Structure 1
Amino acid sequence: MKIKFLGAVTSVTGSCHLVTTGANKFLLDCGQFQGSDETDDLNREEFDFNPGEIDFVLLSHTHIDHSGRIPLLVKRGFKGPVYCTDATADLLDVMLKDSAYIHEKEAEWKNRKNRRAGKPYREPLYTLDDAVTALKQIKPVLYNQLLEINEDIKVVFNDAGHILGSSIIEIFIKEDEEISKIVFSGDIGMKNKPILKDPTMIKKADFLIMEATYGNRIHEKNSAGIKRLIDIVLKTIRRGGTVVIPSFAVGRTQELIFEFNRFYEDHPDYKKELSGIMVYVDSPMATTATKVFRNNAHIFDEETKDYILQRNDPLDFKNLRFTRTVEESKELNLNTEPKIIISTSGMCEAGRIKHHLKHNLWNPKSSIVFVGYQAEGTLGRSILNGDKYVSIFGERIKVQAEIYDLEGFSGHADREGLLDWLSGFQEKPKEIFIVHGEKKSKEELADYIKERFGYDCKIITGVSEFLLSGEGLISEEELRKAIASPEVIQKIKNKISSLKDDLETILTKIHLSSEKNLTAEQVTEINNIVMEIEKDTMSLASAVIKENKIIAGDLN
Structure 2
Amino acid sequence: MPVNASLTFIGAAQQVTGSCYLIKLPHQQLLLECGMVQGHDQVREWHKFRFPFNAKDIDAVVLSHAHIDHSGLLPLLVSKGFHGKIYCTPGTADILPVLLKDSVNLYLKDLEWQNKKAVRAGKKPQSPVMSVKDVERVVDLIVELPYSKRGFPLDGVELEFADAGHILGSAIVQLWLKGKQAMRKLVFSGDLGNPATVLLPPATDIGQADIVLMESTYGNRDHQPLADTIEELAAALEQAYNENGNVFIPAFALGRSQEILYYLALLFKQGRLKQRMVFLDSPMAISITKIYNEYLHRLDQADLDKIGYKPGMTLQQLLPILKLSETVEDSMAINRISQGAIIIAGSGMCNGGRIVHHLKHNLWKNTNHLIFIGFQARGTLGRRLVDGEKRVKMFGQDIVVKANVHTIGGFSAHAGQSELLAWAKAITGQPDFYLIHGEPEAQLVLQEKLAELGIASQIPAKGDSFDF
- Give me the TM-score of the superposition, normalised by structure 1: 0.80
**What are the superposed Cα offsets for residues 138-178 of structure 1, whole Å, 9 maximum, x if unpaired?**
11121111112344111111111111111100001111131
Aligned to 1:413: 415
- The aligned amino acid for 1:420 is A
Map 1:65-464 → 2, pairs under 5 A? 65-265=69-269, 267-268=270-271, 270=272, 274=274, 276-297=275-296, 299-304=298-303, 308=309, 312-314=313-315, 316-429=318-431, 431-451=432-452, 453-464=453-464
Task: Report if the CA contact (8 A) 1:31-1:69 is conserved.
Answer: yes
Q: SS of the residue aligned with 1:334?
A: coil
**What are the superposed Cα offsets for residues 117-140 of structure 1, whole Å, 9 maximum, x if unpaired?**
233322334221221222111111
**What are the superposed Cα offsets for residues 221-274 of structure 1, whole Å, 9 maximum, x if unpaired?**
222212211110111111110010000000010001111112211x24x36xx2
Question: How far does residue 116 in structure 1 lie from its aligned partner after superposition?
Answer: 2.3
- The aligned amino acid for 1:340 is I
CA distance in 2, matches of 1:286, 1:295: 14
- Closer, same or farther in 2 for the Cα pair 1:124/1:34, shift >3 Å? farther
Question: How far does residue 298 in structure 1 lie from its aligned partner after superposition?
Answer: 5.7
Task: Report if the CA contact (8 A) 2:60-2:154 is conserved.
Answer: no
Q: SS of the residue aligned with 1:428?
A: coil
Question: How far does residue 79 in structure 1 lie from its aligned partner after superposition?
Answer: 0.5
CA distance in 1, matches of 2:219, 2:112: 39
- The aligned amino acid for 1:345 is S
Question: How far does residue 38 in structure 1 lie from its aligned partner after superposition?
Answer: 9.3
- The aligned amino acid for 2:50 is E
CA distance in 2, matches of 1:370, 1:43: 30
Question: How far does residue 310 in structure 1 lie from its aligned partner after superposition?
Answer: 5.3
Between 168-177 and 215-224, report the one with greater CA deviation.
215-224
Between 276-285 and 89-98, report the one with greater CA deviation.
276-285
- The aligned amino acid for 2:433 is I
CA distance in 2, matches of 1:311, 1:110: 45
Task: Report if the CA contact (8 A) 1:34-1:40 is conserved.
Answer: no
- The number of equivalent residue pairs is 461
CA distance in 2, matches of 1:228, 1:398: 25
Task: Report if the CA contact (8 A) 2:43-2:107 is conserved.
Answer: no
Larger Rg: 1
Task: Report if the CA contact (8 A) 1:33-1:40 is conserved.
Answer: no
CA distance in 2, matches of 1:466, 1:297: 42
Q: Which runs of 5+ in 1 are unaligned?
A: 469-556
Q: Which runs of 5+ in 2 are unaligned?
A: none
CA distance in 2, matches of 1:57, 1:305: 34
Task: Report if the CA contact (8 A) 1:103-1:125 is conserved.
Answer: no
Aligned to 1:520: none
CA distance in 2, matches of 1:461, 1:174: 27
Question: How far does residue 43 in structure 1 lie from its aligned partner after superposition?
Answer: 6.3
CA distance in 1, matches of 2:284, 2:312: 26
Q: SS of the residue aligned with 2:214?
A: strand
Aligned to 1:537: none
Aligned to 1:484: none
Question: How far does residue 15 in structure 1 lie from its aligned partner after superposition?
Answer: 0.7
Identity among equivalent positions (%) equals 38
- Closer, same or farther in 2 for the Cα pair 1:299/1:145, shift >3 Å? farther
Aligned to 1:483: none
Question: How far does residue 308 in structure 1 lie from its aligned partner after superposition?
Answer: 4.8
- Closer, same or farther in 2 for the Cα pair 1:356/1:309, shift >3 Å? same
Question: How far does residue 193 in structure 1 lie from its aligned partner after superposition?
Answer: 1.5
CA distance in 2, matches of 1:229, 1:181: 42
Map 1:496-515 → 2, pairs under 5 A? none
Task: Report if the CA contact (8 A) 1:103-1:127 is conserved.
Answer: no
CA distance in 2, matches of 1:47, 1:251: 28
RMSD between aligned alpha carbons?
A: 1.8
CA distance in 2, matches of 1:318, 1:309: 14
Q: SS of the residue aligned with 2:335?
A: helix
**What are the superposed Cα offsets for residues 15-68 of structure 1, whole Å, 9 maximum, x if unpaired?**
110001123210110011112349953763321111111110000111111100
Aligned to 2:9: 5
- Closer, same or farther in 2 for the Cα pair 1:162/1:441, shift >3 Å? same
The one of 29, 33, 43 aligned to 2:37: 33
Aligned to 1:551: none
**What are the superposed Cα offsets for residues 380-405 of structure 1, whole Å, 9 maximum, x if unpaired?**
11111111111111111100111111
Task: Report if the CA contact (8 A) 1:189-1:198 is conserved.
Answer: yes
CA distance in 2, matches of 1:392, 1:125: 26
